[in-house]
Amino acid sequence: MKILVTGGAGFIGSNFVHYLIEHSDHTVTVLDKLTYAGNLASLEGLPDNRFQFVKGDICDAALVDELFARHDAVVHYAAESHNDNSLDDPRPFLDTNIVGTYTLLEAARRHDIRLHHISTDEVYGDLELDDPQRFTETTPYNPSSPYSSTKAGSDLLVRAWVRSFGVKATLSNCSNNYGPYQHVEKFIPRQITNVLLGERPKLYGTGENVRDWIHANDHSSAVLTVLERGRLGETYLIGADGERNNKQVVELILREMGQPADAYDHVNDRPGHDLRYAIDPSKLRDELGWRPAFADFEAGLADTIAWYRANEAWWMPQKSATEARYQAQGQ
């Protein structure tokens, strides 16, 4: 297939493009606006005969139309993705996550093209620490932040375009990703790069908030599985049984990097901070036979630390502006 990947210069999109080139025969075009979160350096080394980059906005209907006309499938990662930014300025989240997804859906309808929509577990809100239930495909939507509410809105648009117009779409909602090429604004790379620069990790609040970690490579293999074999109109939850609280993750990073496990600072909590996310991936496993390859979070984290250590030139240009924003928020 000729696959169009929106947001392919971002963290998870670029991991997916590398995964596709290594693990399939498909050719790939990336459509990306190159916001502060997009980085062409994440797409270096891809073969010219199978990879093309187009700079542009998913809200640009004419460009989207032209690209859809010459592809067989679209995997839609492009989004404003950071909760803290959405609390500061929600507007770009509405434009890209809602209007951008709408623009792609209208083009998918015109061209009758296969579309896979990438979403997040945050659309389900949060769980109590001791809740025995994890999120499933039937959990009611209950998003908390401007980010997660715009992702929830985009999911609902996809479902409506499937039902009303027969668009050939699937959806997946994944838990927190970690791995190479993640922007230093996000939790794990922020702490790793702080330690590399001799700064202390910054934990919001008490650090008891739980995230369900999955390696970006496993997210990619799951998305390719759904794209190739998922049932049209269906939603699949993607997760790898990786629940850890933030304090545990910071302590693991510090130990792996040869620092005392308590060498971190508590900073202002995130307003409306979701307590816990947890994915039940049974449908994806039982129906499509998918399994994660990175079953060991500690080993995946050690690989990720090694990647940031070896790729300072990739992350250093983002670091000071990111920390200046956090400092202004007392974080």
DSSP, residue by residue, 151-168: HHHHHHHHHHHHHHH---
* Residue 57 touches which member of ligand TDX, ligand NAD, none, C-beta under 5-8 Å by kind: ligand NAD
- In whole angstroms, give the CA distance from residue 92 to residue 113: 27
Tokens read off for 197 = 């620069």
Q: Are 279 and 175 in contact (CB under 8 A)?
A: yes
Spatial distance between the Cα atoms of 219 and 242, rounded to a whole number of angstroms: 13
Residue that has been written with the tokens 């985009």 in this structure: 154
The answer for 172, left when phi > 0, alpha when psi is -120 to 50, beta otherwise, is beta
Q: Exactly one of 187, 213, 294, 297 binds ligand TDX (CB under 6 A); which one?
A: 187
Is 243 an active-site residue?
no
Which runs of E-coded beta strand occur in 169-242? 169-174, 177-178, 202-204, 210-212, 214-215, 235-238
Q: Binding partner of residue 38 among ligand TDX, ligand NAD, none, CB under 5 to 8 Å per kind?
A: ligand NAD
Residue 176 lies near ligand TDX (rule: CB under 6 A): yes
Is residue 198 left, alpha or beta, with left meaning phi > 0 and alpha meaning psi from -120 to 50? Answer: left
Instruction: Output the six-digit token pair for 130.
Output: 């001791």
Q: Establish if 204 lies at the interface with ligand TDX (CB under 6 A).
A: yes
Q: Give whichever of 177 and 304 is closer to ligand NAD, judged by the CB atom.
A: 177
Q: Which does 78 bind (CB under 5 to 8 A by kind): ligand NAD, ligand TDX, none?
A: ligand NAD
Least Cβ distance, residue 122 to ligand TDX (angstroms): 5
Least gap, CB of 285 to ligand NAD (angstroms): 18
**147: annotated active-site residue:** yes
* Choices 53-61, 66-74, 76-84, 279-287 (CB under 6 A): range interacting with ligand TDX: 76-84
Cα 63 to Cα 32, 77, 80: the distances in Å are 12, 17, 20
Binding site for ligand NAD (CB under 6 A): 6-7, 9-13, 32-35, 37-38, 57-59, 77-81, 96, 100, 118, 120, 151, 174, 176-177, 183
Active site residue 80: no
- Residues 6 or more apart whose CB falls under 8 angstroms from that of 22 comprise none
- Least distance (Å) between residue 239 CB and ligand NAD: 10
From the list ligand NAD, ligand TDX, none, which binds 190 (C-beta under 5 to 8 Å, kind-based)?
Answer: ligand TDX
User: What stretches of 33-125 show up as alpha helix (H) in DSSP?
Assistant: 61-68, 83-88, 91-93, 101-111
244 binds, among ligand TDX, ligand NAD, none (CB under 5 to 8 A by kind): none
Task: Check binding of 155 to ligand TDX (CB under 6 A).
Answer: no
Per CB under 6 A, 209 contacts ligand TDX = yes
Q: Which residue has the tokens 């859906």?
A: 105
Q: Which two tokens stand for residue 169?
A: 């779409």
Give least dist CB 227 to ligand NAD, A: 14
Query: Coil, strand or helix: which one is 325?
Result: helix
Report the alpha-carbon distance of residue 32 to residue 106 in Å, rounded. 18
Q: Which does 202 bind (CB under 5 to 8 A by kind): ligand TDX, ligand NAD, none?
A: ligand TDX
Q: Which is catalytic among the residues 147, 178, 236, 264?
A: 147
- Rule CB under 6 A: choose which of 6, 8, 107, 122 binds ligand TDX: 122
Q: Of 71, 109, 134, 202, which lies in the binding site for ligand TDX, with binding defined by CB under 6 A?
A: 202
Instruction: Indicate which residue of 80, 121, 251, 323 is catalytic.
Output: 121
Amino acid at site 66: E
Judged by the rule CB under 6 A, the positions of this chain that interact with ligand TDX are 81-83, 120, 122, 176, 186-187, 190, 202-204, 209, 211, 246, 270
Q: Which residues are catalytic?
A: 121-122, 147
